[in-house]
Structure 1
Amino acid sequence: MISQLSWKIGGQQGEGVESTDRIFSTALNRLGYYLYGYRHFSSRIKGGHTNNKIRISTKPMLAISDDLDILVAFDQESIDLNAHELRPGGVVVADAKFNPVLPEGINARLFPVPITSIAEDLGTSLMKNMVASGASWALLGLPIDVFNKAVEEEFGRKGAAIVEKNIEAVKRGADFVLELAGGPLEDFQLEPADGKQKLFMIGNEAIGLGAVAGGCRLMSAYPITPASEIMEYLIKKLPKFGGTVIQTEDEIAAVTMAIGANYAGVRTMTASAGPGLSLMMEAIGLAGMTETPLVIVDTQRGGPSTGLPTKQEQSDLNAMVYGTHGEIPKIVIAPASLEDCFYDTIESFNLSEEYQVPVILMTDLQLSLGKQSCDELDLNKVPISRGKLVRELPELETNQLFKRYELTEDGVSPRVIPGDKNGIHHVTGVEHDETGRPSESSINRKKMMDKRLGKLDGMYIRDAVRADAPYDTPDLLVIGMGSTGGTIDEARIRLEKDGVKTNHITIRQIHPFPTELVKPYLQSATKVVVLENNATGQLADQVKLHAGYAEKISNLLKYDGNPFLPSEVHKACKELV
């Protein structure tokens, strides 16, 4: 028996690839397996090749596998594009309708199944996804009742007759392939999972869940790939807690509405991708100048301009750190896992109110849209903190204003909700004094700038630098951010077998840069490689700028729209040392 397996389904966008993957993975999750998925899709509603790949394991893992065990193909293009990933002895379950052929040199077993014909016999070709699912599930020898339960959950709202037809489609696909193969494939039998049901969601859903748990009650946003699922999740959830989602006319309206709502005391967020973040830049400066809490999620994708809307990239780092005109304090956090997406979202709301600054949660498409398993989340792990929000204020003298921007030792001023008694003050985007009145005094300007820019001195988030560093003097230090952590860890296992002593750190606090936390790891390593999905080495530049050791640092860059594979990282790192 084997402890892990990789499964992929491919076809034309709009013909059931997504629903097939969803039901297949849901059933596996019911059995207690750990799953890690990645979706390759086109930037259009229908047509164009799409595929979903799932890695199934008895143990946690956070990376796409290099190879492939089973490929389910709805067309020849899916075989031609993906067969090279098949390991020797791998399996292709293909629709017999298009007379499938394996490319030359591919050592795999081909099982042509009349997927479309079976579905049409049952009344509609739309059920071919269930036929295909049943066939591949049967080859693994997994209990069919668990799969049928997932089918019931998927189609139950459409009535018992539809459920029964889909279950019959599953059965016929399974029966046909088992007769063709002579039974379940012995070399593809998975070891039993622990049986414990796990959370199974995409990163965007974890962010949405974190927003609800963190007290967010309003989201203003404009749909954009790959951020839209956050809005879609919160549309369903926020009304249950007295909140709402407003779809605005554009990202400028979204961010300014979020600023206004936060000023009014409501925890509010917005989410977008690179193009939307560009439109928000002026308003981010307004939040910085008025010291209004603001939480923005940037789900990075291929750029610039429209770029590659549905592909992986990590190229917005410089925009997040430097994008606004003038100089304001801001915090940029990069979650590295599903759990981070949840906890960091709660913490982003806390930080934005504690320091009264914009906080940008930086994810990437692989993390935002990749579906993965995680164990139960702890709702009490990140307590709610509203910082210096004052609700009861002392009486003011006649014509005296509240010092909303009071010069304090830590740079953070008391904050009030508009309408609170004795809290009246001015709010403006121009430079101002402690009460908010516009001021062009050079003395006041310097004091206010120092106040704002100094409030983040020494600020570190939880796990600002996450380290797996078993060696005091490693041959190699690998640095990553976002979704790359699991891939680096798998590459490290192979490097260890090659005799290369390797440490790994994931930088999660991008700005302000955690210089003092990073330096010791750089100092102790013989060589350093910074891995990132962009063309210019933006994270590496931050490391060099703030922590030094440029002479040790090499770039490992990938910007073709695809995430790193463990084999790519292993090969590049081995060549480096």
Structure 2
Amino acid sequence: MPRDDFIIRIGGDTAVGGVISTGENFTQAAAHIGFHTFTFRTYPAEIKGGHAWFQVRISHRPVISIGDGCDVLVAFDQEAYELHREDLNPGGVLIYDSELVHPREEGDGIVLYGIPFQRIARQELEFVRGTNTLIQGVLAGLFGLPLSALEEMVVSRYQRRKELLDKNLEALRYGYEYVNSLTKRDGFWLGSADNVSRLVVSGNQAIVAGALHAGCRYFAGYPITPASDILEAMAAELPRLGGVCLQAEDEMAALASVIGASYAGVKAMTATSGPGLSLMVELLGLASMAEIPVVIVDAQRSGPSTGMPTKLEQGDLFHALYAGHGDFPRIVVAPGSVADCLRMIVNAFNLAEKYQCPVILLSDQSLSHRTETMELPDVSTLQVAQRLRPDGVEPGQYRRYRITDTGVSPMAVPGLDRHTYVAPGLEHDELGHPVLTPQVHEAMTAKRFRKLETCRQEIDTSEYATRYGEAKAELGVISWGATEGSVREAIDRALAKGYKVAGLHLRALNPLPKERLQEFLGSVEKVMVPEVNYQGQLAHHLAAHMGVRAIRVNKIGGLPFTPGEILAKIEEVMRDA
């Protein structure tokens, strides 16, 4: 029976070009006619040259993870073959340039299709730049993607450049027809889709869409991988909505201007990665001390220092939770999927506005750049909150930092609410006047931290701590961030094998949803925490706040967990039980 859920990986040197665009176009075409897709990409840090690869999982059913290995490997060059051959699953397909790649004798039922891609592009098509389009045609012909779906992608991209349009259509059709000269010997075939056009959205795109829906009208940032897409999109979209986007001279200036915009009554955010967040730390404390709502997106990457700027790591959790001098509250949330990015950035703005403090949203390189198929979301279901204003307060009676049971005080917009105030970085009294006495510092610190306790009551829900699997389990797996899909799929497989396991995915990391956590911990015998970092940062955090002694499963190296890796660890733990 033909396989209609499979993984295609494309690898090659970026100096030649076309590796990423081949995968992107094929993905868009498949989603446009109704297939579900899930992609992952990794690329070098060099401006030009170096190995890159793109992976897409295509299915008739919704997919939530990268999957295991690959079923189809497209090798642009020998390096791609050498790097990825071990990941090719038994019974898989190797498609390669027969004049550049020299595969070894293959076992495991691997099917080989050697095609002289570059020679065809150079001699037959007289269009070397069309190699990637030629490969797209071959993939469509081999695996049953309608040619018309890819033709639409090509027309959409090149419709204003007729010569390029004609050459690319010729290359696409040549590749599609070339398949007729091959004897199909593999078992992969997409078949017909449900003809429901689906959106292909990246995590960064979802963050931008959600931020705009939440009312963000000021963005300041400095270019940094993998968050630059957010800056670029905001620069295009905000002016249309009457907003402002500023490319600042550095990350410190970016957050400083965001704080200023929010003080003036405008919902504001910035986006960066680990190195940029390090530079923002002093201003993070200012926003918390002055009780000004700001949203900071940290698209984590592999560190420390410059590290591996184009690779994945969940290494900034400690930084988000604890960085800064002195004691001050901040809220930390983390989406687990592209759809989550849309919802959680709206929630991040709501939390910032309600509790008047910095909110850090932790994304990562994988989630920022990977794409998933989505139905058109109904954003009307995403409620948008506004900050508490001093309505009805007479001039002269306004106390900006009034001590309250919730920790939240009304926040005036200077010039609009008949009130003015100073938002100091110095310790201050209820009026905002600098006061450095022990009594005031104790009272105001307690006030600021009460906001976290008030917030905890709001986030102690299934939205921020989602449980699945067995109600009573021998093993509970707690995940955060972009590991969610692989962990869910691994638990589904473990349940199918008869293991008593359960999962809890956390989207709120500070404050923690303690009641949901306690309920989960009371229903499992052992706890496992998989993370893409070296120290097991969430496991440390849970140990400190919940007394959890977890089995730590840590992975570094720049790649995400696969479901198979998580499942193997679950089975190992269950065998040793």
Q: Which residue of 1 aligns with 2:333?
A: 333
Is 1:147 the equivalent of 2:150? yes
2: CA distance between counterparts of 1:185 and 1:214?
Answer: 51
RMSD: 1.7
The answer to whether the 8 Å contact 1:334/1:362 transfers is yes
**Amino acid corresponding to residue 143 of structure 2 in structure 1:** L
Distance apart, 1:104 and its partner CA: 5.5
**Amino acid corresponding to residue 210 of structure 1 in structure 2:** G
The structure-2 alpha-carbon separation of the partners of 1:99 and 1:295, relative to structure 1 and needing over 3 Å to count, comes to closer
The answer to whether the 8 Å contact 1:312/1:366 transfers is yes
Q: Which residue of 1 aligns with 2:172?
A: 170
2: CA distance between counterparts of 1:99 and 1:525?
Answer: 51
Q: What SS does the aligned partner of 2:150 have?
A: helix
Alignment of 1:56-67 (within 5 A): 56-67=58-69
2: CA distance between counterparts of 1:491 and 1:409?
Answer: 44
The structure-2 alpha-carbon separation of the partners of 1:42 and 1:212, relative to structure 1 and needing over 3 Å to count, comes to same
**Amino acid corresponding to residue 568 of structure 2 in structure 1:** K
Q: Which residue of 2 aligns with 1:55?
A: 57
Alignment of 1:538-577 (within 5 A): 538-550=537-549, 553-577=550-574
2: CA distance between counterparts of 1:165 and 1:251?
Answer: 43
Q: What SS does the aligned partner of 1:188 have?
A: coil
Distance apart, 1:526 and its partner CA: 1.4
Q: What SS does the aligned partner of 1:295 have?
A: strand
Higher mean alpha-carbon deviation, 534-543 vs 82-91, is at 82-91
Distance apart, 1:421 and its partner CA: 5.3
Choose from 447, 451, 456 the match for 2:447: 451
Choose from 428, 435, 447 the match for 2:431: 435
Cα deviation digits, residues 192-232 of structure 1 (max 9, x gap): 32221112111011001111111111110011111111112
Q: Which residue of 2 aligns with 1:355?
A: 355
Q: Which residue of 1 aligns with 2:514?
A: 515
2: CA distance between counterparts of 1:371 and 1:549?
Answer: 34
The answer to whether the 8 Å contact 2:317/2:538 transfers is yes
Q: What SS does the aligned partner of 1:187 have?
A: coil
The answer to whether the 8 Å contact 2:220/2:255 transfers is yes
The answer to whether the 8 Å contact 1:465/1:517 transfers is no
**Amino acid corresponding to residue 13 of structure 2 in structure 1:** Q
The answer to whether the 8 Å contact 1:466/1:507 transfers is yes
1: CA distance between counterparts of 2:352 and 2:438?
Answer: 28
Q: What SS does the aligned partner of 1:456 have?
A: helix
2: CA distance between counterparts of 1:138 and 1:532?
Answer: 39
Is 1:131 the equivalent of 2:134? yes
Q: Which residue of 2 aligns with 1:242?
A: 242
2: CA distance between counterparts of 1:3 and 1:72?
Answer: 18
Q: Which residue of 2 aligns with 1:11?
A: 12
Q: Which residue of 1 aligns with 2:367?
A: 367
Is 1:402 the equivalent of 2:398? yes
Distance apart, 1:154 and its partner CA: 1.8
2: CA distance between counterparts of 1:115 and 1:205?
Answer: 33
Q: Which residue of 1 aligns with 2:382?
A: 382
Task: Show structure 1 runs of 4+ deviating over 6 A.
Answer: none
Distance apart, 1:277 and its partner CA: 0.6
The structure-2 alpha-carbon separation of the partners of 1:394 and 1:470, relative to structure 1 and needing over 3 Å to count, comes to closer
Q: Which residue of 2 aligns with 1:257?
A: 257
Distance apart, 1:493 and its partner CA: 2.7
The structure-2 alpha-carbon separation of the partners of 1:393 and 1:474, relative to structure 1 and needing over 3 Å to count, comes to same
Distance apart, 1:110 and its partner CA: 2.0
Q: What SS does the aligned partner of 1:410 have?
A: coil
Distance apart, 1:465 and its partner CA: 4.0
2: CA distance between counterparts of 1:244 and 1:22?
Answer: 30
**Amino acid corresponding to residue 384 of structure 1 in structure 2:** V
The answer to whether the 8 Å contact 2:4/2:188 transfers is no
The answer to whether the 8 Å contact 2:81/2:101 transfers is no
The answer to whether the 8 Å contact 1:301/1:365 transfers is yes
Is 1:472 the equivalent of 2:468? no
Alignment of 1:215-234 (within 5 A): 215-234=215-234
Cα deviation digits, residues 260-305 of structure 1 (max 9, x gap): 1111111111001111111111000000000000000011111111
Q: Which residue of 2 aligns with 1:530?
A: 529
2: CA distance between counterparts of 1:69 and 1:545?
Answer: 42
The structure-2 alpha-carbon separation of the partners of 1:64 and 1:315, relative to structure 1 and needing over 3 Å to count, comes to same
2: CA distance between counterparts of 1:508 and 1:453?
Answer: 20
Cα deviation digits, residues 372-396 of structure 1 (max 9, x gap): 1122212112222112034x55443
Choose from 65, 69, 72 the match for 2:71: 69
**Amino acid corresponding to residue 456 of structure 1 in structure 2:** L
The answer to whether the 8 Å contact 1:302/1:308 transfers is yes
Cα deviation digits, residues 12-47 of structure 1 (max 9, x gap): 014111211111111001111111111021111211
Distance apart, 1:59 and its partner CA: 1.2
Distance apart, 1:103 and its partner CA: 6.1
Distance apart, 1:557 and its partner CA: 0.6
Q: What SS does the aligned partner of 2:453 have?
A: coil
Q: Which residue of 2 aligns with 1:413?
A: 409
**Amino acid corresponding to residue 564 of structure 1 in structure 2:** F
The answer to whether the 8 Å contact 2:465/2:513 transfers is no
**TM-score (norm. length: structure 1):** 0.95
1: CA distance between counterparts of 2:76 and 2:530?
Answer: 35
**Amino acid corresponding to residue 370 of structure 2 in structure 1:** G
**Amino acid corresponding to residue 22 of structure 2 in structure 1:** T
2: CA distance between counterparts of 1:450 and 1:281?
Answer: 21
Higher mean alpha-carbon deviation, 84-93 vs 459-468, is at 459-468
Alignment of 1:30-49 (within 5 A): 30-49=32-51
1: CA distance between counterparts of 2:490 and 2:96?
Answer: 32
Q: What SS does the aligned partner of 2:380 have?
A: coil
**Amino acid corresponding to residue 433 of structure 1 in structure 2:** D
**Amino acid corresponding to residue 503 of structure 1 in structure 2:** A
The answer to whether the 8 Å contact 2:43/2:51 transfers is yes
Choose from 419, 422, 425 the match for 1:423: 419
Which sections of structure 1, spanning at least 5 residues, go unmatched?
none
Q: Which residue of 2 aligns with 1:22?
A: 24
1: CA distance between counterparts of 2:407 and 2:249?
Answer: 36
Q: What SS does the aligned partner of 1:342 have?
A: helix
Percent identity between matched residues is 38
Cα deviation digits, residues 312-343 of structure 1 (max 9, x gap): 11011011010021111211001111111001
**Amino acid corresponding to residue 512 of structure 1 in structure 2:** P
2: CA distance between counterparts of 1:220 and 1:103?
Answer: 54
Distance apart, 1:99 and its partner CA: 4.6
The structure-2 alpha-carbon separation of the partners of 1:452 and 1:468, relative to structure 1 and needing over 3 Å to count, comes to closer
Cα deviation digits, residues 79-98 of structure 1 (max 9, x gap): 11112222233222222331
Distance apart, 1:135 and its partner CA: 0.8
The answer to whether the 8 Å contact 1:533/1:557 transfers is yes
**TM-score (norm. length: structure 2):** 0.95
The structure-2 alpha-carbon separation of the partners of 1:394 and 1:90, relative to structure 1 and needing over 3 Å to count, comes to closer
1: CA distance between counterparts of 2:174 and 2:219?
Answer: 45
